[in-house]
């Protein structure tokens, strides 16, 4: 299974013997030679005063988000000297987290989400494993960061809102040495042995996902729900799927997932797109099914999607598209998709066909391609 060449080049049609013409020929057009912050800047230039991000109490336009992130980038300029260098970001799901992520990218670096609830030893391992150059954290978490880090701690409070004038698009001095194949982020999975394993993802891989996968990406008129933990790759779709397409990102309050509370957020902010962990979607269907009626697109991933729950959602809200997704973190979140249109009784929900710019291969125990069917 591969996402293009793993990074963004359109894969050629499969040449495996016995396969019909066109299998795995999934190439689409997208900004394969750009970076996430460059594509964001394009959206900002198109609609600077459109809302980019909001929670229950605050909001930022694309222009305001750009300027706050630029302040972070300027502050990071003292510790970042080249591409593929990492910066830890210790903060809960919030507007500040998104400002920090974008600021790290603008500085030419890659962000590493650090959950404040992680044990000190795990955080220290992640910082050492990525050779992080600094940690960004709000002042209320600075002491927690100091316990875990042997690198400089930069407080977001000081980096953002310093009052220094910053022009639109500022803080881009390192863009010259940050390209489409530079690191965008490193996320950690548990690993098969239980030892955390860092997965390094490049800009072009993310853009293949949030700009090239036509039909599953948000539109500029959408409001995208952000409920994922920052260290889970579904947040990639939520954050960059929204901001690279001119949509509005709606940040659900931090805390344990509560389907009823999530339903209230959907209704209050008129959310239209949601990517849910499969288990969370099952909870939403059980406890807050009416709230899903306003969504035009629901994506599920991370576990086996229940046919029964799928049927209930389709019957209650036939106008809502339901897409089952599958893919390990290494393939940049999603490798295959299946839109659930009908649910046959007694049948499981497929993982579907290759996502755009992705090849899927089925192999036998000796790693040889198997015949169709």
pLDDT, one tens digit per residue, over 4-54 is: 433 333 444 444 555 666 778 899 999 999 999 999 999 999 999 999 999
> Would you place residue 165 in the very low, low, confident or very high pLDDT band (cuts 50, 70, 90)?
very low
The partner residues of 322 in beta bridges, in order of sequence, read: 298, 340
Q: What is the pLDDT of residue 145?
A: 60
The answer to whether residues 225 and 271 touch, using CB atoms and an 8 Å cutoff, is yes
Between the alpha carbon of residue 109 and those of residues 105, 119, 245, the distances in Å are 5, 25, 22
Q: How much is the pLDDT for 17?
A: 56
pLDDT at 6: 36
Across 166-170, average pLDDT = 48
Minimal CA–CA distance to 136: which of 120, 119, 117, 112? 112
Helix axes 278-287, 259-268, angle to 10 degrees: 80
Give every CB contact of residue 155 below 8 A, 6+ residues apart in sequence.
Answer: 136, 137, 138, 139, 142
CA-to-CA separations, 182 to 14, 36, 186, 212, in angstroms, rounded: 28, 10, 12, 18
- CA proximity to 37, closest of 84, 90, 112, 107: 107
**DSSP SS3 for 209:** helix
Pairing of strands 321-326, 297-301: parallel
Q: How far is CA 163 from the centre of its chain?
A: 30
CA separation for the pair 111, 187 (Å, rounded): 9
Q: Which residue has the higher pLDDT, 249 or 77?
A: 249
204 is written with which tokens?
A: 């072009």
Of 95, 94, 109, 133, whose CA–CA distance to 35 is shortest? 109
Within a 13 Å sphere around the CA of 267, how many CA atoms are in the beta-carbon half? 12
Q: How many whole angstroms separate alpha carbon 238 and alpha carbon 38?
A: 18
Give the C-alpha separation, 368 to 239, whole Å: 38
pLDDT of residue 347: 87
What does the pLDDT read at residue 248? Answer: 98
Convert the pLDDT of each residue in 47-89 to its tens digit: 999 999 999 999 999 999 999 999 999 999 989 988 999 999 9
The rounded distance, in Å, linking the Cα atoms of 202 and 5 is 12
C-alpha–C-alpha distance, residues 360 and 327, integer Å = 11
Taking each helix axis from N to C end, the angle separating 36-46 and 95-106, rounded to the nearest 10 degrees, works out to 110
Confidence grade of residue 177 (pLDDT, cut at 50, 70, 90):
confident
Q: Among 75-79, 124-128, 162-166, 345-349, where is mean pLDDT lowest?
A: 162-166
How large is the angle between the packed helices 62-76 and 95-106, nearest 10 degrees? 60
Handedness of CA 152, 157, 163, 168 (dihedral sign): positive
pLDDT of 190 reads: 75
pTM: 0.90
Interatomic CA distance for residues 163 and 172, integer angstroms: 19
In which element (H, E) is residue 309 found? helix 307-316
Residues 86-133: pLDDT tens digits? Answer: 999 999 999 999 999 999 999 999 999 999 998 888 899 999 999 999
pLDDT at 211 over 60: yes
């Amino acid at each position: 299974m591969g996402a293009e060449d793993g990074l963004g080049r359109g894969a050629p049609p499969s040449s495996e013997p016995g396969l019909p013409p066109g299998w795995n020929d999934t190439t689409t057009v997208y900004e394969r030679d750009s970076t996430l912050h460059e594509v964001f800047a394009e959206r900002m230039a198109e609609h600077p005063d459109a809302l980019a991000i909001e929670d229950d109490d605050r909001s930022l336009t694309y222009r305001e988000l750009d300027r706050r992130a630029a302040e972070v980038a300027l502050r990071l300029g003292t510790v970042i000297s080249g591409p593929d260098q990492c910066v830890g970001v210790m903060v809960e799901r919030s507007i500040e987290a998104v400002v920090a992520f974008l600021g790290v990218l603008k500085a030419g670096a890659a962000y590493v989400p650090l959950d404040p609830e992680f044990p000190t030893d795990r955080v220290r391992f992640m910082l050492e494993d990525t050779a992080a150059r600094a940690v960004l954290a709000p002042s209320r978490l600075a002491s927690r960061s100091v316990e875990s880090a042997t690198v400089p701690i930069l407080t977001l409070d000081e980096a953002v809102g310093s009052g220094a004038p910053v022009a639109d698009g500022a803080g881009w001095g390192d863009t010259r040495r940050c390209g489409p194949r530079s690191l965008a982020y490193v996320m950690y999975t548990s690993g098969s042995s239980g030892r955390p394993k860092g997965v390094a993802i490049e800009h072009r891989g993310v853009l293949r996902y949030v700009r090239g996968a036509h039909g599953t990406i948000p539109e500029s008129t959408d409001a995208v729900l952000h409920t994922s933990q920052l260290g889970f790759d579904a947040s990639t779709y939520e954050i960059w799927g929204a901001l690279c397409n001119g949509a509005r990102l709606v940040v659900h309050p931090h805390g344990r997932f509560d389907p009823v509370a999530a339903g209230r957020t959907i209704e209050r902010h008129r959310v239209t797109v949601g990517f849910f962990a499969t288990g969370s979607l099952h909870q939403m269907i059980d406890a807050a099914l009416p709230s899903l009626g306003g969504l035009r697109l629901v994506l599920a991933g991370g576990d086996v999607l229940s046919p029964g729950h799928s049927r209930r959602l389709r019957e209650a809200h036939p106008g809502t598209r339901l897409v089952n997704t599958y893919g390990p973190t290494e393939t940049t979140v999603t490798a295959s998709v299946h839109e659930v249109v009908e649910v046959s009784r007694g049948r499981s929900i497929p993982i579907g066909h290759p996502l755009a710019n992705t090849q899927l291969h089925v192999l036998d125990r000796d790693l040889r391609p198997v015949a169709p069917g």
